[in-house]
Structure 1
Amino acid sequence: INFLKLRASYGNPGNQNYDAKLAASIYNFMDKYSNPFGIANIIQQWGNNGLKWQKTNTYNVGITATMFNNRLSFNADYQIRKTDPQLVRIDLPGSTGVVSAPMNVGGTDNRSISLTATYYILKKYDFNWYISGNVSHYTTEYYGIGNVLEQYNEQGRASSSLMRMYDGASTSGLYAVRSLGIDPATGAELLLKKNGTPTYEWNSDDEVLVGDSNPDFQGNFSTSFLYKGFSFGASFSFKMGGDVTLSTLMNKVENISQKSLPYNQDVRALTDRWKKPGDIAKYKRIDDTSTSHITTRFIKTENTFSCGSINLGYRTSNAKFLNLIGATSFDVRFYMNDIFRISNIKEERGLSYPFQRSCSMSLGLSF
């Protein structure tokens, strides 16, 4: 052991990323609403005299060490972050004249474990090769909310959102109705009520906790080596255990309205949907254009491993042609991004990002 340090810290910071007038009532003078008694005042924001700062108590313990003649160095941390009270905007009825008002509602409890390490496989004068990486796990739960935020849960059910706000619930927990798959006899989706009874009718009251979008573990690692003027580097990332929504299947294979039928669709809307009694299909019958609500049929646990970037380069200051042109050094580098991605989910990768590989090359001269 070359170096060893034990660490512990505590902090209670506030949050200043809010409007300075958040606790005050604000009115607008509106010329267009003028009347014989003068210019009208229209409420823009209802204040809250009892509003408190959002504070986060942060506790952290950790260890920092280097070992084996400084070849291995690492940091390990365990952290607890409790935000109490939370500062959120609560929706108000339209009769109040505003959309929402600031309130202190409950709190969140975040706990995380993280490890970062670097190891030099070779460490010489003209040849260095090391691997560096980190891995982390964290959870966040609500507490002290009660029924104040139930309106958000209702809005989530109406909009097919999977997030809910309950005491003791994870902030990244996913709630949905359980599915038994497509009935081979009818081509309709067979669901489970909260009490375990099969049904064909979807009801948001039957939703239960079915997963969590937060991975069990996630992290990245990279490797790099230098040999005289040559350099090479690559970076990788991984996630294990996070649940995802299969949005492409839900919106491009099912949920196709009658109006959208003539337009470009996923080919699986024709090949993989139920067509006749006895078909074992992943998707409901092909002539059903009704809305498909989110169920466990469109939620799956994902494990991924990907290579984010690779770079290769060479730099020299001894080449003969440098003296001829009066330069001191020359370098050439090649870069490539999004090399590959391996996932246990083969059906889709989502619709939110244009995934594509990119390559670039650079030449440089120093004088």
Structure 2
Amino acid sequence: MRLTGNIGITGNQNFANISSVSIYNYNSNVNYNQFGQGVSLNMLGNPDLEPQKTQQISTSLDFNLFNNRLTGYFNLYKKETNPLIVPVDLPSSTGVFSYPYNVGSLTYKGAESKITFFPIYDLAKGLTWSLGLTASSYKSEYNGFGDLLASLNKKQENDKNLVRYIDGNSAEAIWAIKSLGIDPATGREMFLTKEGQYTFDYSAANIANVGNTVANMEGVISTNLRYKQFTFGLGLRYRIGGDIYNSALFNKVENISYTNITNNQDKRALYERWKQPGDISQFKGISQTSTTPISSRFVQSNNTLSSESLNIGFLFNNEPWLKSLGLESLSTNFMANDFLYFSTVRRERGIDYPYARTFAFSLKASF
């Protein structure tokens, strides 16, 4: 067994126009300046800007037990970026859209593990069988913003963005108004205010943290079997907990535009809507033509189990018929990916890439 720990600080150079020096653009258009070429201020630099630094502390326990029958590691880490560099909006009278500030911090705390166990490990007979499990989990938290990013959060709200920069909350949090579902009597959506009252009226003041896109735990379950020339390997990826905002339902059922309605209308917009008093429905009445706001009604718990990989192979060697063909060896291999998928969230167009199964077969000969 081995116990290790480390600490380190790294910088970050992945910035675009955020800078400690002002940036200018040359402008030779005579429509702006008839006297010749000039310059215009593109980015106002902050001379007191500090570099963004990330401190990471981690510790790991590696183990190898029972004559290599049980191996793996457990790792704990903490990553804190302080200070952050954030472009803060300036008044329009300044002529500059934003100004880079050092404000706030972002902390990640997480754990990772990997365990491999061999129920059968007999090299003399050429037989080995292993079971493997990887798992990871993390949480993040913003701090030190105060009210400095109020204008940025307001812009996120106007842009119908699910992200906010608020102290004590996760960077992966989903921000929306809490929904109580569709009122069976009227077909209208009901909302929950911060005071705990029911209302039909949407108000941005009631937007709250309604979910998180990070899984409680995720990883891969695997098994590998080898018997003489035969090999078999299977990997299943799992995800437990966490949420997803189903943008396909939000955009294609209740908020589809008049332009797209003839090209890509979701049939649930007609068949699964509230129709008459007493109906229990996920979607509001079709007579409710007002724009549907971002709400927790479209936040769904995201638990999945999918096939990571499948590999089946066989190696032919020292066979009499190989010699007659002038071959040293012949190997066959069958591979498949994404052939199984189970989830609490239906795969919708617009959430991720199309669901595609991949199968491959290979034949390799050595002379």
TM-based fold match above 0.5: yes
Code of the residue aligned with 1:164 in structure 2: it is: R
Distance of 1:350 and 1:21 partners within structure 2: 32
How far off its partner does 1:109 sit?
1.2
The farther-off stretch of 115-124 and 312-321 is 312-321
SS of equivalent to 2:306 = strand
Distance of 1:327 and 1:96 partners within structure 2: 78
Equivalent residues in 2 for 1:213-232, closer than 5 Å: 213-232=213-232
Question: Structure 1 regions of 5+ residues with no counterpart?
Answer: none
Structure 2 vs 1, CA of residues 17 and 278 (structure 1 numbering), >3 Å: closer, same or farther? closer
Equivalent residues in 2 for 1:5-20, closer than 5 Å: 5-18=2-15
The farther-off stretch of 331-340 and 38-47 is 38-47
Code of the residue aligned with 1:200 in structure 2: it is: F
How far off its partner does 1:318 sit?
1.9
Contact 2:23 2:45 in 1 (8 A): yes
Distance of 2:332 and 2:15 partners within structure 1: 47
How far off its partner does 1:115 sit?
1.1
How far off its partner does 1:92 sit?
4.0
Distance of 1:282 and 1:212 partners within structure 2: 21
Contact 2:19 2:100 in 1 (8 A): yes
Sequence identity percentage: 37
How far off its partner does 1:350 sit?
5.3
Equivalent position of 1:195 in the other structure: 195
Contact 2:121 2:127 in 1 (8 A): yes
Equivalent position of 2:27 in the other structure: 30
SS of equivalent to 2:248 = helix
The farther-off stretch of 110-119 and 94-103 is 94-103
Equivalent position of 1:293 in the other structure: 293
SS of equivalent to 1:269 = helix
How far off its partner does 1:346 sit?
4.5
The farther-off stretch of 51-60 and 24-33 is 24-33
Distance of 1:162 and 1:22 partners within structure 2: 27
Code of the residue aligned with 2:298 in structure 1: it is: F
Equivalent position of 1:183 in the other structure: 183
State the Cα deviation string for residues 210-266 of structure 1 (Å, max 9, x = none).
221111111112111211111111111111110111222222221134454444422
Contact 2:104 2:143 in 1 (8 A): yes
The farther-off stretch of 238-247 and 253-262 is 253-262
Contact 2:18 2:100 in 1 (8 A): no
Contact 1:256 1:289 in 2 (8 A): no
Equivalent position of 1:46 in the other structure: 44
Matched, 1:117 2:87: no
Structure 2 vs 1, CA of residues 331 and 98 (structure 1 numbering), >3 Å: closer, same or farther? farther
Contact 1:257 1:289 in 2 (8 A): no
How far off its partner does 1:189 sit?
0.8
Equivalent position of 2:71 in the other structure: 73
Distance of 1:257 and 1:121 partners within structure 2: 58
Equivalent position of 2:54 in the other structure: 56
Code of the residue aligned with 2:107 in structure 1: it is: D
How far off its partner does 1:330 sit?
1.4
SS of equivalent to 1:32 = coil
Equivalent position of 2:132 in the other structure: 132
Distance of 1:75 and 1:19 partners within structure 2: 38
Query: What is the aligned-residue RMSD (CA, Å)?
Result: 2.2
SS of equivalent to 1:8 = strand
Equivalent position of 1:255 in the other structure: 255
Matched, 1:315 2:315: yes
Structure 2 vs 1, CA of residues 92 and 271 (structure 1 numbering), >3 Å: closer, same or farther? same
Contact 1:255 1:289 in 2 (8 A): no
How far off its partner does 1:46 sit?
1.7
Contact 1:26 1:47 in 2 (8 A): yes
Distance of 2:345 and 2:17 partners within structure 1: 46
SS of equivalent to 1:252 = helix
- Figure out how many residues of one structure are paired with residues of the other and give that number: 364
Distance of 1:205 and 1:161 partners within structure 2: 15
How far off its partner does 1:137 sit?
1.3
How far off its partner does 1:144 sit?
0.8
